[in-house]
């Protein structure tokens, strides 16, 4: 598993919709939780867990290095992800 976070909900939605289109999902079917209901950490950043195979899909292979290099998306460890999803609302 790999874990990511971003403070940019708009960017998150753009990536989510790009991946949905690549996989042929038609709304409301989606491969990733929409930003309004996605889990967030204590700083309000959206957190996301994906399996390793997801990150090897061609569209993700193209997008992920760019997103990480931009600083808009950060790779986090499992403990940070678990802490975010288990924190009280």
Domain range spanning residue 80?
Answer: 2-85
What's the confidence (pLDDT) of residue 89? Answer: 64
Could you tell me if 12 and 47 are in contact, meaning their C-beta atoms sit under 8 angstroms apart?
Answer: no
Separation of alpha carbons 49 and 65, rounded Å: 16
What's the confidence (pLDDT) of residue 44? Answer: 95
Residue 19 is inside which H or E element, if any?
helix 9-23
58-74: b or e for each residue (b if 16 or more CB lie within 10 Å)? Answer: eebeebbeebeeeeebe
33-86 per-position pLDDT tens digit: 899 999 999 999 999 998 888 888 888 889 899 999 999 999 999 999 999 999
Could you tell me if 48 and 59 are in contact, meaning their C-beta atoms sit under 8 angstroms apart?
Answer: no
Q: How many domains does the chain have?
A: 1
Q: Can you name the residues that pair with 5 across neighbouring β-strands?
A: 47, 74
| pTM summary value | 0.86
What's the confidence (pLDDT) of residue 32? Answer: 85
């Amino acid at each position: 598993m790999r874990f990511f976070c971003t403070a940019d909900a708009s960017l998150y939605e753009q990536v989510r919709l790009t991946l949905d289109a690549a996989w042929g999902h038609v709304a409301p079917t989606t491969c990733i939780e929409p930003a309004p209901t996605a889990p967030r950490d204590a700083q309000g950043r959206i957190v996301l867990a994906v399996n390793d195979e997801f990150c090897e899909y061609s569209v993700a292979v193209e997008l992920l290095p760019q997103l990480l290099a931009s600083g808009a998306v950060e790779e986090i460890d499992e403990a940070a992800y678990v802490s975010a999803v288990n924190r009280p609302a």
